[in-house]
Structure 1
Amino acid sequence: MKSKIITSIRSVGSVQKHQKNNIKIMGKKLFFITVLSVSCSFGFSQGCSDAGICSIGKGFDSDEKEVKNNIEVAAIFGTGDANITYISPYIAYTKRFNDKFSLSTKVTFSSANGDFGTRAAFGDAYLIGNYTFKEVKEKQWSALAGWKFPFTSSNLKINGFALPLDYQSSLGTFDLFLGTNLKYKKWDFNAAIQIPVFNNNQNSYFDEFSASDDFPTTNLFERKSDALFRTMYTIKLENSKFTFKPNVLFIYHLGEDTFENQFGERQTIAGSDGLTINGNLISVYQLNNRNSIELSLAAPFLIREIRPDGLTRGFVAGINYRISF
């Protein structure tokens, strides 16, 4: 009888020790997630490339094979230079034709509010194709190609006054996207390039004729290409509907942008090229097999010297609802 009591006590002690270890492991995971989330929330002063290259990685998502359709509805809140705030909803649809090929479309809208006033308009439409290769030894490659089509020529005005690109809903360029992704276990590594192929930017903002000194001249603006490298790690909590995807993005602007001055001469904007590094935390809550809610927090760690294209986000938060069928 005494032996049974001792065995029982040992068993209870073992269970308690195991529970404590689980709590410690869970605590470490939550601490890591919290630290990353805070670091994303209180970054420096330049956000993701609104030109679109940051968001095309959605085309690399590997959904369940039996799911053929995805619809996403999202709203994004951001802060920029000169106390500008942004609200940017979008709707997206993805069609999986087979185990290898899928096609995604997206339409964006943007509302910018600041000292100049409020201006809202549709931004861009995207068409992205994704091809997934056969998995070999836990490694799976994907290839991506697509286009971005602007809804405006980036010359929206308020009361007849020209606005800088920070207030525009699109950069007015037709852009080509090319990318590739490597998925290995819980890691994703993707690289992409965004090339402005056709420029329809008709912006007419001159800093010299404006009451504000916050924005550079962008009259008839011409933008260079962007290159991106992203690394992401997926954390799925045991017996939980939560998934966390911390990731880091390196975006290099491949040249100095230009504008046309008041004398009709094309002029280079010094310091507009260079590297931006963004931190991002994606949190996904799976409501059921076909519905999920996603929260994304992002902010920069390193910025370019000058961002005449208006891609000046100090903090970005987005919420996304996805339904699959």
Structure 2
Amino acid sequence: MEKRILGFVLLLINGLMVENQALAQGCSDAGFCTMGAMKPDQAFNKKVELKLRSIEVSYYRGESTLSPMINVANIDASFSITKNLGVQIKLPYQWVTGNFDNTQGMGDISLSATQRIIDNEKFDLNVTIGGKIPSNDGNMKSNGEVFKWSKGTPLPMYYQTSLGSYDFVAGASIISSKWLFATGIQMALTANSNQFEWSPDWDEYPDPEYVRKYDHANDLKRGTDIMFRIERNFRFSNYSFNIGLLPIYRITKDQIKEPETGEYEKVDKTTGLALTALTSFTYNMDVNNSIKLSYGHKITDREVNPDGLTRVQVFIVAYGFRF
């Protein structure tokens, strides 16, 4: 049965990537898919005492559907409070390069607490509650580095280092020696202050039609996301690897404020499924140190994405230290 399930997952990943390659877009994950119980590649070994603290330093590079390339250096620290309760904090620094401008700054801070509810020889059940704190209001303006005339013009969300909103996050996972199943929800509690629109400020850009490929995001309030993760792990003495699928469904529409009326309006085509195929390889140098390589490829995404989270593919290299 296990071989049949694994074969089905592999066939599904391959079939969807071939069928939807032209539609491949990016991750609608605003960061909660790597928080607490929703994290990929979680350790499960009842024969080895689990380290109580860990710090992972990683570099992320994401290719968007337009010109921006998103780079993130991230510190992910986890600490155990008791045998079954732990906390996590993620501190990202982000820089973006693109046709409009180059931006950089602190990303949104993630905080979460995870409680292990069931702990036995066959599986663990964990639950997480947490949130995200914005590093700025999501309305960084052009510094004129690429086009002098654009200095002071609000940039699209693709160029923002923060989503500009306070978010609530919760989730749960079941982990065994071979499988990880997780689900979670993320709700934006506030709107940001982004003011990008197709205004006369961009009339001097060489290709006006390209500007219109960026969705308006005036005072954006993102819709609610629900995620699921299915992951098959293959673990050996010094290394491990995994494959999986990450579907994220936006169940409510994004909302933006209309400049003329000052009223919020729901944006059509912002709900629906974003599906990503994932794989990673980890080499354990010893019980304390490890190196991980991860890759994600977008299979399909929502048609309209004002939040600027779409990615064609992502690549991550990380160093982990447990103590």
Q: Aligned with 1:133: secondary structure?
A: strand
Of the three residues 300, 308, 311, the one matched with 2:309 is 311
In the alignment, the residues of structure 2 paired with residue 170 and residue 278 of structure 1 have an alpha-carbon distance, to the nearest angstrom, of 22
* Deviation at residue 97 of structure 1 after TM alignment: 2.3
In the alignment, the residues of structure 1 paired with residue 22 and residue 315 of structure 2 have an alpha-carbon distance, to the nearest angstrom, of 12
In the alignment, the residues of structure 2 paired with residue 99 and residue 60 of structure 1 have an alpha-carbon distance, to the nearest angstrom, of 20
Q: Is the aligned partner of 1:243 residue 2:235? A: no
Query: Could you say which residue in structure 2 is the equivalent of 1:26?
Result: none
| Residues 108, 123 of structure 1: 8 Å contact kept | yes
| Residues 61, 314 of structure 2: 8 Å contact kept | yes
Query: Could you say which residue in structure 1 is the equivalent of 2:3?
Result: none
Q: Is the aligned partner of 1:265 residue 2:263? A: yes
* Deviation at residue 310 of structure 1 after TM alignment: 0.3
Q: Where does 1:1-325 land on structure 2 (aligned, <5 Å)?
A: 44-56=23-35, 57-58=38-39, 61-62=42-43, 65-136=49-120, 138-158=122-142, 159-199=151-191, 201-209=192-200, 210=202, 211=208, 212-237=211-236, 241-263=238-260, 264-325=262-323
Normalising to structure 1: TM-score of the pair?
0.83
Count of aligned residue pairs for this structure pair: 290
Give CA-to-partner distance per residue, 1:244-292, whole Å, 9 cap, x none: 0111011001111111122023222110111111111011011111000
Higher share in helix: 1
* Deviation at residue 50 of structure 1 after TM alignment: 4.1
Query: Could you say which residue in structure 2 is the equivalent of 1:3?
Result: none
* Deviation at residue 222 of structure 1 after TM alignment: 1.1
After superposition, the CA RMSD in angstroms is: 2.5
* Deviation at residue 317 of structure 1 after TM alignment: 0.1
| Residues 26, 65 of structure 2: 8 Å contact kept | no
| Residues 43, 314 of structure 1: 8 Å contact kept | no
Give 5+ residue unaligned stretches, structure 1: 1-28
In the alignment, the residues of structure 2 paired with residue 82 and residue 126 of structure 1 have an alpha-carbon distance, to the nearest angstrom, of 27
| Residues 253, 266 of structure 2: 8 Å contact kept | yes
Give 5+ residue unaligned stretches, structure 2: 1-6, 143-150, 203-207
Amino acid corresponding to residue 202 of structure 1 in structure 2: S
Identity of aligned residues (%): 26
1:297/1:59 CA distance change after superposition, 3 Å: closer
* Deviation at residue 321 of structure 1 after TM alignment: 0.4
Give CA-to-partner distance per residue, 1:67-116, whole Å, 9 cap, x none: 12111110001110222111111111111123211111111121111110
| Residues 29, 248 of structure 2: 8 Å contact kept | no
| Residues 43, 315 of structure 1: 8 Å contact kept | no
Question: Structure 1 stretch 201-210 or stretch 286-295: which is displaced more?
Answer: 201-210
Give CA-to-partner distance per residue, 1:286-325, whole Å, 9 cap, x none: 1111000011100111211111110110010001100011
